Amino acid sequence: MTVKMIAVDMDGTFLNSQQDYDRKSFNQLYKQMKQQNVRFVVASGNQYYQLKSFFPEIAEELSFVAENGAYVVSEGKEIFTGEIDSSTIHEVLTILADFKEGHTILCGKNSAYVAESEPDSFVEHGKKYYHRLKKVPNLFEVKDDTLFKFALSFPVEQVGEVLDQLHQALGDKVTPVSSGHGDVDLIIPGIHKAHGLLQLQELWGIKKHEVAAFGDSGNDLEMLKHAEYSYAMRNGQPKVKVAAKEIILSNDENGVLVKIAELLGN
């Protein structure tokens, strides 16, 4: 088997419960990837600026499918940027106002935005995933940015029910996907992690049968179905385990790095 691209989700997959990874092991594997001309791609629902921070020495060499595919950057160059038009943004914000226990971050290319009325605890939670997060009087007034995603947070036990309600309320305007914990992303229909990987495959001439992908949540499903070699974490959601070809060790057992070593022939 020849793998030329390895795509990893971050939270719950590449990162352990402490929001970190075995940097020494990864650095050794990354050197091998470069020697074997294997591309390493970070594919996450999180913000580009947050994702870069995990790889300070090599961020400019890597490719990022950020914001669930809405923003794709390779070696510091923008490859793809999605956009939700302003009338849809307003319509979705109006619908979200009816979800009393939900909290909303509006995600754009330059920054993410949160309403001043949101509790401090939610804003602090948001800053973990969105290193550029601005408080604004209200989200209806956000302008001068390309907006491409809503990041929502709900009590964990409500997520299943909320996803159903959002599907019904939003129709085909945006697609709700679970991204783990109590988080739900509203993404542009058809713009997901697999779409982002395709942009990079075209850039590099990499075929589907040369792609390996790792994930744990609902927003990884398209990517896992797309990749020839697909791996779900032992700690992953049940539907993700069904979609993947193999279930591997959990994110707290270095599951991704163990499997990458195997893929590289170690």
One-letter-per-residue 3-state SS of 27-88: HHHHHHHHHCCCEEEEECCCCHHHHHCCCCCCHHHCEEEEHHHCEEEECCEEEEECCCCHHH
Average pLDDT over every residue of 187-201: 96
CATH number, position 35: 3.40.50.1000
Domain span at 104: 86-187
pLDDT at position 61 is 97
Cα separation, 32 vs 214, in Å, equals 19
Average pLDDT over every residue of 147-162: 91
pLDDT at position 162 is 87
Q: Which of 130, 154, 187 is the last residue of a domain?
A: 187
Q: Which of 133, 163, 187 is the last residue of a domain?
A: 187
| DSSP annotation of 151 | E
State pTM to two decimals.
0.93
Question: pLDDT tens-digit profile of 49-92?
Answer: 999 999 999 999 999 999 999 999 999 999 999 999 999 999 99
Cα separation, 7 vs 220, in Å, equals 10
Number of structural domains the chain divides into: 2
Whether residue 118 is found in the same domain as residue 30:
no
What residues contact residue 72 under an 8 Å CB cut-off, 6+ apart? 63, 64, 65, 66, 78, 79, 80, 81, 196, 199, 200
Whether residue 43 is found in the same domain as residue 171:
no
Instruction: Categorize the per-residue pLDDT at 22 as very low, low, confident or very high, splitting at 50, 70 and 90.
Output: very high
Whether residue 99 is found in the same domain as residue 170:
yes
What residues contact residue 140 under an 8 Å CB cut-off, 6+ apart? 90, 93
Average pLDDT over every residue of 143-149: 95
Whether residue 221 is found in the same domain as residue 239:
yes
Question: pLDDT tens-digit profile of 200-249?
Answer: 999 999 999 999 999 999 999 999 999 999 999 999 999 999 999 999 99
| Position with higher pLDDT, 159 vs 118 | 118
pLDDT at 101 over 80: yes
How many degrees, rounded to 5, is the angle at CA 96 between CA 145 and CA 190?
60
Amino acid identity for residue 122 in this structure: F
Whether residue 130 is found in the same domain as residue 171:
yes
Catalytic residue set: 9
Q: Which of 132, 157, 187 is the last residue of a domain?
A: 187
Half-sphere exposure of 46 (CA within 13 A, CB side): 27
Whether residue 91 is found in the same domain as residue 162:
yes
Report percent pLDDT > 70 for the chain: 100
The average confidence (pLDDT) of the chain is 95
Distance between terminal CA atoms of the chain? 14
Whether residue 181 is found in the same domain as residue 196:
no
CATH number, position 129: 3.30.1240.10
Amino acid identity for residue 244 in this structure: A
**Residues 40-51, buried b or exposed e (16+ Cβ, 10 A)?**
bbbbbbbbbbbb
